[in-house]
Chain A
Amino acid sequence: MVFDSEDAAALWAIRRDAAELDAAAQSELDAWLAVDERHAGALLRAEAALA
């Protein structure tokens, strides 16, 4: 295991890179970020790798 949240973070990074999230997707992302503070770190890492 590398990151528990790595797969989800990669998908959110791709989605945020592709377009602004709609309200439903934004709520889903907010809920995912709220579950565990480590998710924010995983998302940053994924978005940075994509940068």
Chain B
Amino acid sequence: MSSEGSDHTKLSQSRREIITWVGSNIVPHEGDLRSRLRRMAVPEDEISDIVQDAYVKIAKLDSVTHIRNGRSYFFTTARTMLLDRIRRERIVRIDSMTEIEALRLADDDPGPERRVSARLELERVRRLIDGLPERCREIFELRRVEGVSQREIAARLGLPEHIVEAQAARGLKLILKALAREARSDEDAPGKNGERASDRHGI
């Protein structure tokens, strides 16, 4: 984070704004980007690298106010990274540049359908929270919905604060892993023990 140097102790206002913007404008499109890369037969580990590199690029920004369309920025960044990897022959199988072009077409300004898609993705995140293991969900809701401090949550639930922290981190990890999977409606909700529906069905 170039603007903060080593001073991460208290999040700066600009950093908070970037985090909030990424939460609203980038994260909701991650599933779609991954799906499109999968359809292009990009290997899963390459997809994760490309998506992660896109987040790295955003993390280096001092501001996001110049970005008019988060989805377009995200897809364009991913496409550039994919092309770089192809040029360096880090990806073996790409049938044609037509597939790369499909990524460009997908990053256009969000029309009504894509706005609905982003809204559905946000609803999906809410469903993921609903599907968290009970203790994780309870802690997540107290913190995210009611704005209760971690210390107060620990007091209310009669738990040591480090347990609340661990449970919250567990919940967030499950949500991050679910976000990385292809959007498949209800199949994405982690079960009460944190497993995917597809795992539960032995798929």
Contacts and interface: CB of A to CB of B under 8 A. Distances in A.
Contacts of A16: 8, 11
Nearest to B179: A49
Interface residues of A, number: 36
A10 B180 CA distance: 14
B78 interface: no
Given A2-B176, A15-B165, A43 B150 contact: no
A41 B52 contact: yes
Contacts of B13: none
A14 B149 contact: no
Contact-residue size bin, chain B (C-beta under 8 Å from the other chain): 35 or more
Contact of A48 (B23, B53, B60, B151): B23
B142 to A, nearest CB: 12
Interface string B126-145: 00000000000000000110
Interface stretch (B91-99, B101-109, B167-175): B167-175
B118 to A, nearest CB: 14
Contact of A46 (B6, B10, B58, B172): B172
A3 B53 contact: no
Interface of B: 1, 6, 8-11, 18-20, 22-24, 26-27, 45, 48, 52-60, 125, 143-144, 149-151, 165, 168-169, 172-173, 175-177, 179-180
Interface of A: 1-3, 6-7, 9-11, 13-21, 23, 26, 29-30, 33, 37-38, 40-51
8 contacts: A2-B180, A6-B173, A11-B169, A19-B151, A38-B53, A44-B58, A45-B176, A48-B26
